[in-house]
A and B are shown apart, each in its own frame.
Chain A
């Protein structure tokens, strides 16, 4: 008999019922909520006279709209403030298992606070009105981003209507070379398979490289599964998963912890499981990655150059290369290391955890941000990350080098607050999306790892973090 994939195990253990066309009603264990995609859902409940099904599943925070400096002043933009206050009001009326409001010591990006508080546990179904919910799959959760109607549906029924995805196994084999990070791995994968390869699939990441990554690194990988088109990315449970969760506020304790551990150990694909699609990636060959265009698949090795559209035969692809280069203000065949920068952003749910900040700080130690850089900022993913970094003195290292050390939040990942690029400004960013206007209207985003962003800040342009100078 063929075994089950991890995805199938998670799926099968949460099906409440299945319609004749295979649409399933899936039970949801954890519902993460933030201010941007929830107001209309709570309003919908209210208008229909409905109540949340199980508020103990809800963990909420305010992150997208919140400022990352001058917290004493509160939220100045009245529209943002109203949205955050609307979340405050909705949680106080309807209730939640935990709420980390603006300025709370545990407030932060929803995908950072879930795991760090033990709100994300292996085997769970996790949803959030946010596409990067895939992040939580690093803990062997079936974690999917949903829209606001679905947020309302989960609030009201504790269930989500879903069609089973196909399964896609990506094995990253071998060992990473030194100074290569999880971000380089996932950018490299997306460069190989493209941003639509995962559409309709749940991607499982495995292989020796994934096993060697820390939980932080695994979260970076699963975070960007959505950029490969997959609604969820998952990784099996191992000792690192369990060690990470021990003692977190919402992790089980005592007998329950032992019971939970035993059941979590089964959360891996069976040897004989069959996937709909499998690819192998050679981890040894992965180099530092930099995106040059307006889609995460438009990515190059640091040693490479921007493409030459005149060599592209397919007219539709050629036009998309032309458009991307024009938007990015880059000529064909420009060496990546020759691209100068205006700003540097270290943060976002992809790369704002303690390990990310440590990696960046290591590069920055004893060095100075280049004079040509207008602003280099570090935005920790949560209040807890910030506190830990300050305990380790990382804030001082960054500030001594000329970085701006900020309060936690989504910040310039999507520029809903005041942290944004001006039109034409070019930024090395550790976030996950380089779409047109993502970091501010007309802004130009290059996605990189924390170490590469830090090195670029020092050099004023992209540079290989493996160069002798940084070692």
Chain B
């Protein structure tokens, strides 16, 4: 996993609540057996005006000029901001894969669905939960400030605005550590193999039917 320590980047405002994982990456792209290449279909149904299908030449597809990511001022943004309950719905990890493949490293929202939150952290995408009021004020600042950017510092657990306003955010220490160091958590867990085996021996004695 790529390390995440601190980034400063352009912010794209997606002014919607309940952005679900079907909207982030529609189901027809889930047929892929790979982890990469989903970025071009990120928010497919909002980004293009036709119905997307895997394998279709992207250059031939009509673009929705109204959609935020199709506006030139947000090209190259690395931070996405949205409203409540971001990432609800299906557990598809293709959602963070698509966001990362597109170039996002941070999503800011007042709240995130649990599975999406976890999936993001495993892919070097940092979900940052800030209060509704703060998110709202950032939306307003973006509207008033062309080229609005933010700094997100995982080490210091804060978001800093252009006007040097700092908002701190919470993240589990273990998760933060994995992200800061780019650690593979399977490797860490396998380091506890003896404890896992011990657990199994005990459980097998008490509930042998679980091992049939």
Contacts and interface: CB of A to CB of B under 8 A. Distances in A.
A252 B27 contact: no
Given A149-B123, A199-B114, A16 B190 contact: no
B141 interface: no
B33 A27 contact: no
Contacts of A121: 209-210
A16 B91 contact: no
A259 interface: yes
A372 interface: no
Contacts, number: 186
Contacts of B90: 130-131, 414, 433
Query: How many B residues touch the partner, as a band?
Result: 35 or more
Interface residues of A, number: 77
Interface in A148-187: 148-150, 152-153, 156-159, 161, 163
Nearest to A437: B45
Given A21-B174, A123-B207, A161-B189, A320 B27 contact: no
B134 to A, nearest CB: 14
A310 interface: no
B114 to A, nearest CB: 5
Contacts of A333: none
A271 to B, nearest CB: 24
Nearest to B203: A27
A43 B33 contact: yes
Interface string A237-269: 000000000000010100011011001000000
Contacts of B207: 123, 260, 263
Contacts of B91: 37, 129-131, 133, 145-147
B89 interface: yes
A35 to B, nearest CB: 9
A372 B210 CA distance: 51
B18 interface: yes
A158 B196 contact: yes
A437 B114 contact: no
Interface in B163-212: 172-175, 185-186, 189-190, 192-193, 195-196, 199-200, 203, 206-212
Interface of B: 16-18, 20, 22-23, 26-28, 30-35, 45, 51-52, 54-55, 83-85, 88-93, 96, 111-115, 118-119, 122-123, 172-175, 185-186, 189-190, 192-193, 195-196, 199-200, 203, 206-212
11 contacts: A16-B192, A16-B195, A27-B199, A56-B211, A77-B31, A124-B210, A130-B91, A131-B115, A157-B196, A260-B207, A260-B209
Interface of A: 16-17, 19-23, 25, 27, 29, 36-37, 39-40, 43, 48, 50, 53-54, 56, 64-65, 77, 79-80, 82-83, 86, 121, 123-124, 129-131, 133, 145-150, 152-153, 156-159, 161, 163, 195-196, 199-200, 229, 231, 250, 252, 256-257, 259-260, 263, 295, 316, 320, 323, 414-416, 423, 433, 435-438, 441-442
